[in-house]
């Protein structure tokens, strides 16, 4: 089957991959659009893993105030170049992340940021709950670790399901952005404010 310019253009619009990469993916998939998309995605995610260690010192600070002015979020999203930082796609990503933080109210960026004291307290609570539920002593540790995983998913931003697509985590979103932009993308830090929060 001949690969037409229109087919390459359609694939390029869907994936943001280069013209030559799109043509090659279509040739390797025998013109099958879905297979070509899957091929480019796999290739992009593999390349993204290689880029993840590169320095990302450009980017933008995104500020979001929820309608009603009762919740506000500020975050720093980094990339490698000013060129990518100024694209609409990068700005949209920063906005979507801020919107997610406003809605999901994470406490930490990653599980590594959770203080050991908090983890010890959570483990003690889960252990007491499991024993109170009458769980056998030999499975309590597994139950505690399972509930701790759920705790990470609820409180650590990078592990939370994205509010607009719960099949993807925030980490998935960032990894996909690395593949799309061809640069390392790092969500460096965030802060979330809510009116009346933490008032005694």
User: What CATH number has the domain bearing residue 129?
Assistant: 1.10.286.20
For residues 64 and 145, membership in a common domain is answered with no
Tokens of 121: 């307290």
Overall domain count for the chain: 3
The answer to whether the predicted template modeling score (pTM) of the entire model surpasses 0.85 is no
Claim to verify: residue 166 and residue 80 sit in the same structural domain: yes
**Can you tell me the distance from the alpha carbon of 88 to that of 143, in angstroms, rounded to the nearest whole number?**
44
Give CA–CA dist 79/89, Å, rounded: 12
pLDDT digits (tens, 9 = 90+) for 119-164: 999 999 998 998 888 888 888 888 989 999 999 999 999 999 999 9
> How would residue 74 be classed by pLDDT, with cut points 50, 70 and 90?
very high
173: domain range? 58-109+156-194
Q: What is the pLDDT of residue 2?
A: 80
Residue with tokens 């697509």: 165
Using 50, 70 and 90 to split pLDDT, how confident is the model at 199?
low
In a domain, 142, yes or no: yes
**Two structure tokens written together for 31:** 């013109």
- Phi, psi at 62, each rounded to 5°: -110, 130
Using DSSP's 3-state secondary structure scheme, residue 1 falls into coil
Whether residue 49 has pLDDT greater than 60: no
Look at residue 83 and tell me if it is in a domain.
Answer: yes
- Residue 157's nearest CA partner among 109, 95, 119 is 109
């Amino acid at each position: 089957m001949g690969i037409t310019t229109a087919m390459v253009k359609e694939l390029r619009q869907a994936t943001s991959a280069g013209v030559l990469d799109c043509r090659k993916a279509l040739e390797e998939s025998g013109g099958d659009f879905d297979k070509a998309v899957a091929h480019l995605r796999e290739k992009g995610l593999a390349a993204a893993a290689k880029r993840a260690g590169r320095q990302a010192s450009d980017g933008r600070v995104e500020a979001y105030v929820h309608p009603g002015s009762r919740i506000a979020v500020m975050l720093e999203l980094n990339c490698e170049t000013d060129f990518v930082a100024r694209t609409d796609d990068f700005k949209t990503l920063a906005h979507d992340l801020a919107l997610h933080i406003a809605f999901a109210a994470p406490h930490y960026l990653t599980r590594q940021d959770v203080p050991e004291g908090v983890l010890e307290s959570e483990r003690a609570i889960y252990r007491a709950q499991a024993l109170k539920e009458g769980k056998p002593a030999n499975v309590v540790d597994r139950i505690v670790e399972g509930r701790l995983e759920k705790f990470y998913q609820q409180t650590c931003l990078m592990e939370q399901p994205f509010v607009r697509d719960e099949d993807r985590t925030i980490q998935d979103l960032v990894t996909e952005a690395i593949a799309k932009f061809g640069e390392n993308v790092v969500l460096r830090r965030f802060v979330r404010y809510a009116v009346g929060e933490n008032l005694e």
